[in-house]
Structure 1
């Protein structure tokens, strides 16, 4: 087996999705942790934050192996808030698609189809919001990966 010096395009895109989603999730968990008073729930959030930080630390070294990767300076912080909505919409579309394939009841299928279409529209709106503000450079792989690295580092560094 030969070892490639770069990642393949398809694995680069999956790496992007994992880093982006986990960076947004880490920021959300850390913000929520500040508000939690229940010790057991607080411990669960702390454990989750440490796990996400470790995941990102393990994934980030692969970014320089991605095609056309170069780092750049920071962008607006509201990436995380918009990114949270984007991940929610994307996850909803996937979850609805799975649920629809398991649905036997026509009335339920009709509701799920209506709701998946709404989730698709939300994803489109959030994506174009982020894209139009330079928060999600979807058509420029190098810029996309630079942003992933920067956002992951910012999420790890957050206290």
Structure 2
């Protein structure tokens, strides 16, 4: 449950965004690793399995990006909007109480 303090400071949105962006970055890292592994696979069977996993990771990345975009947390096609979101997040983080 989101606390009153999180709502008043805007931290609940920042928390959602941090989770979504962290998840997306983790998936991107997995995509890079699978892509490298596919090119180094020793057998066609292993290559096929890795390529299948790579496809699943790409689909997952798309789903996360769509969610973040729909929630207004991520603006991949508009740099100015993304900069505005990032600047607002910086302001919220700077105003957050030091615990």
Q: Report the TM range for the smaller structure's normalisation.
A: 0.7 to 0.9
2:76 to 118, 121, 138: 138
Which residue pairs with 2:47 in the alignment? 109
The structure whose RCO (Cα within 8 Å, separation 6+) is larger is 1
Which residue pairs with 1:87 in the alignment? 25
Post-superposition shift, 1:121?
0.5
Structure 1 CA distance for aligned equivalents of residues 65 and 36 of structure 2: 22
Structure 2 CA distance for aligned equivalents of residues 109 and 151 of structure 1: 41
Structure 2 CA distance for aligned equivalents of residues 149 and 107 of structure 1: 47
Match of 2:76, SS state, is coil
**Could you tell me the TM-score, scaled by structure 1's length?**
0.47
Which residue pairs with 1:27 in the alignment? none
Which residue pairs with 1:147 in the alignment? 85
Structure 2 CA distance for aligned equivalents of residues 149 and 102 of structure 1: 41
**Could you tell me the TM-score, scaled by structure 2's length?**
0.72
Structure 2 CA distance for aligned equivalents of residues 102 and 151 of structure 1: 40
Task: Go from structure 1 to structure 2 and tell me whether the alpha carbon gap of 1:151 and 1:104 turns closer, same or farther (over 3 Å shift).
Answer: farther
Post-superposition shift, 1:140?
1.3
Structure 1 CA distance for aligned equivalents of residues 43 and 19 of structure 2: 36
Provide structure 1 residue ranges, at least 5 long, that are not aligned to the other structure: 1-73
Structure 2 CA distance for aligned equivalents of residues 105 and 124 of structure 1: 29
Count, aligned residues? 85
Provide structure 2 residue ranges, at least 5 long, that are not aligned to the other structure: 1-9
Query: Which has a greater percent of helix?
Result: 2
Post-superposition shift, 1:150?
3.9
Residue-by-residue CA offset, 1:37-91 (whole Å, 9 max, x unaligned): xxxxxxxxxxxxxxxxxxxxxxxxxxxxxxxxxxxxx681200111111111111
